[in-house]
Every structure is written in structure tokens, then in C-alpha cells.
Amino acid sequence: MQIRELAVPDSYVFDLVPHGDSRGRFTEWYRADALAEALGFAMPLAQANHSTSARGALRGVHFAQVPPGQAKYVYCPVGSILDVVVDIRVGSPTFGVHDAVVLDSEQPRAMYLAEGLGHAFIALEDQSSVTYLLSSPYAPAREFGIHPLDPALDLPWPADVEFELSAKDSDAPTLEEARQQGLLPTMEQCSARYAELRAG
């Protein structure tokens, strides 16, 4: 397993090593020790989600209030997605910066994004499955979104795909509107949360 930090600080991609023979393939898609070594603390595990999406399904940009926020570890066992992380932490030196990684079943990899970062993905194939681990449980009152087609974000969505968004994501504010409404986490809040996790 190889680990590298993305352009958005506190997010990482994990290049996984599949093992196969005539029977099929085996992949260790999550290793708590490897993740803890990269982060400097163990990721709390509170919930595991699984979604299946048609080509063009666009989900996000989603985030949760900090504290406690919601870190995610994302893996695509079937199909292919473009997974995107956005720095929405007000006061961060990289505020508004994004990075993207293709997660698919051919070259398996996973993405981790810390509390306070925005997350979105688009399915590049029909029946693309996404499995992800969450550091805190779903809590509707604490969870918000930013419109994934906000021109100011300029996210790298493919031009040859027809997007399908939920009503909630279609009605989400732009990044600037979310900032003006006081919805976004601050870098100070997130740094305090990361320090709390490192302290155990």
C-alpha cells in the first residue's frame, strides 16, 4: 500500500495492492494501522455506507459541521468514479482548492478526507459501487452541501457525462453563499479537532 497526500492538506490517496489468481482477486481495501500512521491518530469508525450509482450520478459536495465533523475513507469495489475533495475550511491557506482521484475496480485505490473537507463524486460507469467508512454517524441537522457545479469551484467533472443530481444537491448554495451564511467550518475549528484526535 502506497500513501500520498493530495493537493488539499489532510486528504490522502491509498494505492492498494490486489492479489489474484485463477480463482479471482483479493484486496485489503482498509488497514487501520496504515491509515493511523499517515494521520498520526486512529480514525474513529462510527458508520459504514454503501451506494450504487448510474453513470452520471453526481453526489455532493457534502460536509458536516465541526466539531465533530465527519472524516471519510472511500473505496470503489465495482465500476468507476471520479472522487473529489474540496478545501472548504474558512481561513485555510488552500481554501477553495480541490483535488480529484479516479477510484475504480481495475487499479484499486482509496481516498481519505479529514473532518471539515468537502466531498463529492460522479459515477463514470453504470452500477458503480462506493463503500465508505465514516468517523461520525449521519446527523441531518449537522450536514450541509455546496452546489457541485458552482463555477467558482470549477471542479473537474467530465464533459462527456450527463449529470444527475438529487433535489438537495441541486438546491445547495455556492461556496460563497455557504460562507456568507456561516455554514462552513473554520480552519481553527478543524485544527482543534485534529489536535483532539491526535491527543487520543
Q: Which residue is catalytic, options 30, 73, 112, 132?
A: 132
CATH number of the domain that residue 72 is part of: 2.60.120.10
- Tens of pLDDT, residue by residue over 175-199, are 999 999 999 999 999 999 999 999 9
Does residue 200 carry a pLDDT above 90? no
Contact 109, 16 (CB under 8 A): yes
- Residue 173: which domain range? 2-199
Q: What is the mean pLDDT of residues 160-171?
A: 96
The sign of the torsion formed by the CA atoms of 140, 142, 148, 149 equals positive
Q: What is the pLDDT of residue 164?
A: 97
- Tens of pLDDT, residue by residue over 59-99, are 999 999 999 999 999 999 999 999 999 999 999 999 999 99
Mean pLDDT of the chain: 96
Q: How far apart, in whole angstroms, are the C-alpha atoms of residue 50 and residue 75? A: 10
Among 94, 68, 124, CA closest to 11: 94
pTM for this one?
Answer: 0.95
Q: What one-character-per-residue DSSP string does the chain give?
A: -EEEE-SSTTEEEEE--EEEETTEEEE----HHHHHHHHSSPPP--EEEEEEE-TTBEEEEEEE-TTT---EEEEEEESEEEEEEEE--BT-TTTT-EEEEEEESSS-EEEEE-TTEEEEEEESSTTEEEEEEESS---GGGEEE--TT-TTT-----TTS--B--HHHHTPPPHHHHHHTT-SPBHHHHHHHHHHHHH-
C-alpha cell at 155: 471542479
Catalytic residue check, 12? no
Question: How many structural domains are present in the chain?
Answer: 1
Q: Which residue is catalytic, options 62, 98, 119, 147?
A: 62
Q: What is the pLDDT of residue 1?
A: 83
- Tens of pLDDT, residue by residue over 2-48, are 999 999 999 999 999 888 889 998 999 999 999 999 999 999 999 99
Catalytic residue check, 50? no
Contact 49, 131 (CB under 8 A): yes
Q: What count of other Cβ atoms lies within 10 Å of the Cβ of residue 170?
A: 14
